[in-house]
Chains A and B, each alone.
Chain A
Amino acid sequence: MNEYTPILALLALGFGFGLFSVIISGFTGPKRYNRARLDAYECGIEPTPQPVGGGRFPVKYFITAMLFIVFDIEIIFLYPYAVAFDSLGLFGLVEMVLFISTVFIAYIYVWRRGGLEWD
């Protein structure tokens, strides 16, 4: 029983948090509705209606968001590297250069293919 007490606890906590957030926001949140507020995504992107007669679906926002994640992860790796810089020595340098260049290649791709242009 012992070893899976934490897991049960985690499960309970997960459910509890979900329930708690929904209920408490229902009680405490301000109830001023407007159009943007009712959209599925509160991000300024209109999911519907789609462009008449098909056409392209604007994904500019999502591309930018995904780029953010890529660079975010890069930064996350840079922090611990900075902390252990001395003890890792040349090995660390080589590995980090490899890592950064990998991310950089992705960056070049996005940049050259117009992923950074908003319009």
Chain B
Amino acid sequence: MLSYEEIIEKYEPALGLEVHVELGTKTKMFCGCPTEFGAEPNTQVCPVCLGMPGALPFVNERAIESTILIGLALNCSIAPWSRFARKNYFYPDMPKNFQISQYDEPICTDGYLDVEYETPEGMKTFRIEIERVHMEEDTGKSLHVGGATGRIHGAEYSLLDYNRAGIPLVEIVTKTVLGTESYAPQIAKAYVKELRDILRALGVSDVKMEQGSLRCDANISLSPRGSGKLGTRSETKNVNSLRSVERAITSEMHRHAQRLEAGERVVQETRHFQEDSGTTRSGRSKEQAEDYRYFPEPDLLPVAPSAEWIEQLRAQLPERPSAHRARLQQLWQVPDKEMAAMINAGVVGVVEETVAEGADPTKARTWWLGEISRVANEREVEVVEMPITPKDVAEIIALVAAGDLTDKLARQVVEGVIAGEGNPAEVIAARGIKVVSDEGELVAAIERAIAAQPDTAQKVRDGNIPAAGALIGAVMKDTKGQADAARVRELLLGLLGQS
């Protein structure tokens, strides 16, 4: 088997990313039903989104507005005239057995998104070209009951929930991305992250990958260097987190390389990412391309946004995340390397929110990049997906600054919040965490430590200052870490005649 470095040496990876975004409109794409997540099954439905005979779609103007905003933010051309089309295929959770989508006349085309990534050779910008941004409606959900896998095969019966049917979706499709080389998995992840930040800044979606409001299909192919043509691609679905984007692509690169090295061909197919193993499994083959019999949707008029409207929307665009980050870096006086680390860890947003809660930028950055990142790594989740809020972190920083917590105690509080024990105040109360500042209590503890380790104490008296560490450790243990270590040291050295 080839190592990753060997794969890159022999093959050039080509990426393609399709991102589906559920828009955060109050109502569905083609009817007035609410779009809230998590309602009782089949309670947010009407004749239109159930595909009742005779029902007709009517377009949600907010959805078109959101799509144009996305297109503009991704530097796309906005078509003065575009059409909806029907994509025909049978599936039980699709009420009409066709999906209203866009085909050869999408609303936004030919854009790009610049993605910054810190490589060992320094910060690099990769331009990801966008082929199209188009609108469509979501399908319902099938729940397959019985059987071992929860998949349709082997299930006893299936339940259908149409609440999601008709929720507006925007599909953002990149052109084939070449030139990312060994960084292909990281660039893919950075692209989705950057895209997510933009969508969040636009306020068009809540972009929660775990709830499915942002979904990514990752296409990858390998072509032997110098062959001059693209290899056969696979499309990986079910990629439900940023980390999974990176893992899925890495795993597919290894799988493709292995097949190619063994003289086998890569099958063009849909694959499903499996979170537990970090690998993909085969879905349906796309060798026989499904014929969706697209044709223009006769029930809807073409979408023809006026130039004035487009310019109005352009004027509403928020600051681009990259510009925003540059501004923050200057404002907070962050060194380039630190800034790059923040970008790669995806914590700029949460640090900013923590600062907005009153925290010192350096302290905020240290917490998010340090302790919280460490736990996130252990848990294999993204830092921003950790169950601690910027407000929690700001409170903890304030408590340390006021001397109510030591750094060590603060870490315990962070740990408690992440463990779900409540907000910082609740964790402090429940765990009985407090700084021991009663000098009498401290002196008593120090005297107990000296009494327990007379030899060590003697060493300190004799001028071996580093030996004091063992005694300080004992005192900290005695006080359950609630003492201020610096003050313990001061008092100890005083008692042993070394101040």
Q: Do A and B come from one complex?
A: no
